[in-house]
A = this chain, B = another copy of it.
């Protein structure tokens, strides 16, 4: 019997979600077992189907059950048959907010062998960690509409930023930066236009930064940062930014490191008051769902992020090694494989390290 059992809630979700999660679990279980860790999964059918059947996105009873797990593993949610925003806000963001996932952790790393769309850029040029705030900012859902449907309609959308919320994520980012070789932290914001929120972020970075004299602090407006991700990615080590800017720049990060099929993320509650949630950055890709075409790598890498969070870094490194090896063979050609074949290969490569 394993020394420790992790209770994992699995939300396969919509589109390619179930396919990629199946492979993620396959690889996760092999890596965990090697460290004497058992994974006990409970599957929750949330997403488009449930919403169509019941009109609910996250029933209260499910929310309570989810809260009783150590971690959540999510594929993707969203379907063209559901109005835009319903599942995103009713399920995905609801979990991020309710479970206080104030760190949305997104590594941006170019693996050897992966072709970046950027000319002449190699793995040594792109190795950053984006720490995106996950529980406030423009994602608060605040705003409203006046005189809807008339020529005088006004729609507002409010970004809410708190000292409490900004400080905790900034502190997390400084910790990460202090633990990496380059020890550099870049704040990305738009403080010359979003002056109220920007000034708060700047001040908090300055204040918290005084406790981390070993970390070099930089600042970039979000427009410039978006440009630098493309033409000077080596500029960045750890990046800390707000919820919306983080959403945008991590997709640029995914693009420059070979696409959304490889981008992992963790929605982390560092205080462990609720379970953290791990998911690929990509969406449900309904156009290729059910065809075994989806690349499960981002979901597999999200399991590595989960293992780090669960305090089993050896298992996380083995998954990353397996992915790195697999991506190298892809570069050498090799036929195209199905989602399940990639999962099998990755699991085998983890097993080899045991």
Question: Which residues of A does B touch, CB under 8 Å?
Answer: 78, 84-85, 88-89, 93, 115-120, 138-139, 141-145, 147, 150-164, 190-200, 222-224, 226-228, 230-231, 244, 247-252, 254-256, 259-260
Contact = CB atoms under 8 A, between A and B. Distances in A.
A93 B193 CA distance: 9
A147 to B, nearest CB: 8
Given A89-B193, A156-B159, A195-B89, A230 B255 contact: yes
A254 to B, nearest CB: 6
A260 B223 CA distance: 11
A200 B153 CA distance: 9
Contact of A152 (B84, B157, B163, B200): B163
Contact of A230 (B78, B150, B197, B252): B252
Given A85-B191, A155-B162, 16 more contacts: A85-B195, A85-B198, A88-B192, A116-B119, A118-B230, A119-B119, A138-B193, A151-B163, A152-B162, A154-B161, A156-B158, A156-B159, A158-B159, A226-B248, A227-B255, A248-B248
Contacts of A120: 119
Contacts of A143: 158-159, 194-197
Contacts of A200: 145, 153, 155
Contact of A157 (B84, B154, B197, B251): B197
Interface centre among A119, A145, A231 (most CB of B within 10 A): A231
A153 B163 contact: yes
Contacts of A84: 191-192, 198
